[in-house]
Structure 1
Amino acid sequence: VNLTSLNIFYKYLDPKGSSQKTDTIRTSEFRLNITPEVTQINHIQNNNDQLLAPNDKGTFVKSPAGVNTEVTFPISEIYSKLTNRSLNQARLMVYALPEANQDEKVKLSPPDHLLLVNKDSLKGFFENRRLHDNVTSFYASFDKETYSYNFGNIAAMINYYKRQKKEAFDLTYYLVPVDITFTTTGGSYYSPGTSTPTAIYNQMKPSAVMLENKPEKLKLDIIYSSF
């Protein structure tokens, strides 16, 4: 569904509006387009018991209003190494697992985008129509070639909380399926321009994917410098 609207047809009296200057009845209409302020769905019920059960193979994300994956960054394990060093890069990639045996006719596609958001920042994120700030929240798009979500460099997140907490800490984030509206600027015949996210919403179309949780796949590639 790309657009939902409500068309209202009505009649009204047009005094002396006819060609003979007598009263006449006219018909007209107006359209009410659905906006982000309008509730899209009042209630969604899911049976997620199987998805929430412990699984050595992976964890799940599912929409709408389904299942999110919790990610813990054990910064406390490397905090001593960062005390007198500057963190330059921390690259995060999350790999998905294809469901090879699933019927293509009923198979749910992976979410187009995942939001990586701090546990304490999730409440109010969508209600207040916030955008990612690359500290408490990041987004990644699904790559069909590598079957993964690449969040890029999240060093700003670690550096920010390092300054705030000033002691060893761990961080808890959620992976949430989202829809993103992009605006393209600077486009021309020779260049496609730059796409910038202008709105992030809870994903309302059905989607699901298993995210791989093997230790060798859950790594932060870190580069830091001493000073």
Structure 2
Amino acid sequence: MKIKNLFIVTLIALGVISCNEDSTIGSSIVNDELAVVIDSTFTVTGHSVPNAKIQSRTDVQLLGIIDAKGYGHLSSEFVTQFMPSNALDTVGVTVNDIDSLMLGMVMSEGQYVGDSIVPMGIDVYRLKRALPYPIFSNFNPEDYYSPDDLIASKIYNATRLGMPDSIAKVYRNNKQVPVEVKLPVELGREFFKKYKESPETFNDPERFAEWFPGLYIKNSYGTGRVMRFYNTSLALHYTKHITADSTTHMRKAIMAVTPEVVNNNNMELSISPQIKSLAQTTPIVMAPLGYNTEVTLPAQDLLNRFRSQSGDYTVVNAMTFEVPAETIENDYDIKAPNYMLLVRKDKLTDFFATTQINDDVTSFYAIYNTARKSYTFSAMRGYFTDLLKKDKITATDCEFVLVPVNLNVEYVQSGYNTNEAVVVAIVPYVDTPAMVKFDLDKAKIKLTYSKQTINN
């Protein structure tokens, strides 16, 4: 049972002393009562709702296939444009000096679900037309590439095995795992020629995308792993002539996937029978696709309780919402999402479409606390004070959605040798599989306010 706590502090005396040269000293006592109320007797309800697709708002790529008991069958491939470098190295370089072109995809250590050493395969296709926007996770690339445009294939894993020691050491020190695919040297020479002929094309991403729409990286073989790449680029390898008798071998990244270009993870999910059954009775979140949870907050009850206990002067101190959340048993060690968004249901679509951040009135985010096994939305005072301004509470004020998200963070200097993390965007969760179940019966809203009663 939830417990209501009432802490009362009595101010014994306020001595008011007034004196001057012509009067006698006098005093008066005013007895006031100051109460700090922490009310947590509110009820929250909710249920699971399907989440079949998400809008691409990220520059990360998910690649692979898993078939996990207690989760389901997830496949992810990706299509992407590239942001070109506006300056290619042409001094002392001819088109015939281009040795190779490499597609490089880099993963941070541990950013995968499944088996790191199982061999899997990918095919790389050149796109034949520009990608649409907006673009969603259920995008079908059938009309955007031709099976005849296969330019490379690769069998890969999620380790640094087989790499030269000197290169492997660099990636190991940076806690990175690369997957590199050798593309046709003719494509590299094509980029070089285009830059020589029309360097302005490389200064305009839209114009560049019209000429080179991008790549489609497609699963071709195997299951058992999904990897999250945060850095994907194309690099030229070439010989540079320093002098008539001196040359050096060079490697230069000439384009990369960035937030400014269209990038999409094409995902397919078949949810396991266990999860479908659980979602019928238990609020859950399953990501990157699967389920969100809709919750109903007791807005009217909050106001009624507050108004019935208000004193002569009342100040709202805080409102928090803690949601107990536990991982769901599965055989791939799939964990809870790191971040959860609580957003008003009618604001959900626009929130992601316009890349918003929390306003702490209609949207809030929380970090998963592994020790408490819960998400706590701790900055909800603005939600309650906004309710106080309204003449009538409607269903819109009560209906919210719990959605897994990723945060885009920038670091700004806030003092001498001190950097502060600032959230610049909250985007749909596009990451390795995650899921969690909520216990809304034990969810706790705490409304804290101070009230003062004047006793004359």
TM (norm. structure 2) is 0.40
More displaced stretch, 116-125 vs 168-177: 168-177
Does residue 149 of structure 1 match 2:375?
A: yes
Q: More helix by proportion, 1 or 2?
A: 2
Task: Indicate the residue corresponding to 1:224 in structure 2.
Answer: 449
Deviation at 1:119, TM superposition (A): 0.5
CA-based RMSD: 3.2
Match of 2:337 among 105, 111, 123: 111
- Distance in 2 between residues matched to 1:108 and 1:135, nearest whole Å: 32
- Distance in 1 between residues matched to 2:254 and 2:417, nearest whole Å: 41
TM (norm. structure 1) is 0.76
Task: Indicate the residue corresponding to 2:193 in structure 1.
Answer: 12
**Corresponding pairs, count:** 207
Task: Indicate the residue corresponding to 2:287 in structure 1.
Answer: 63
Alignment of 1:1-227 (within 5 A): 9=188, 10=190, 11-12=192-193, 30-35=254-259, 38-47=262-271, 49-55=276-282, 59-83=283-307, 85-99=314-328, 102-103=330-331, 106-163=332-389, 165-169=390-394, 171-186=398-413, 191=418, 193-205=419-431, 206-214=433-441, 217-226=442-451
Deviation at 1:29, TM superposition (A): 7.7
> In the TM superposition, what whole-angstrom CA distance separates every residue of 1:24-58 from its partner, at most 9, and x where no partner exists?
xxxx9831424265241245334363243023xxx
Q: Which has the higher contact order (CA 8 A, sep 6+)?
A: 1
Distance 1:208 1:36, change over 3 A: farther
Distance 1:61 1:41, change over 3 A: same
- Distance in 2 between residues matched to 1:154 and 1:187, nearest whole Å: 25
Deviation at 1:213, TM superposition (A): 2.0
- Distance in 2 between residues matched to 1:153 and 1:12, nearest whole Å: 55
Secondary structure of the structure 1 residue equivalent to 2:334: coil
- Distance in 2 between residues matched to 1:134 and 1:142, nearest whole Å: 18
- Distance in 1 between residues matched to 2:422 and 2:281, nearest whole Å: 37
Secondary structure of the structure 2 residue equivalent to 1:40: strand
Runs of 4+ aligned structure 1 residues displaced above 6 Å come to 187-190
- Give the unaligned 5+ runs of structure 2: 1-58, 62-79, 83-102, 104-186, 198-240, 244-251
Deviation at 1:208, TM superposition (A): 0.6
Greater Cα radius of gyration, structure 1 or 2:
2
Deviation at 1:86, TM superposition (A): 3.9
Task: Indicate the residue corresponding to 2:53 in structure 1.
Answer: none
CA contact (8 A) 1:96 1:210 kept: yes
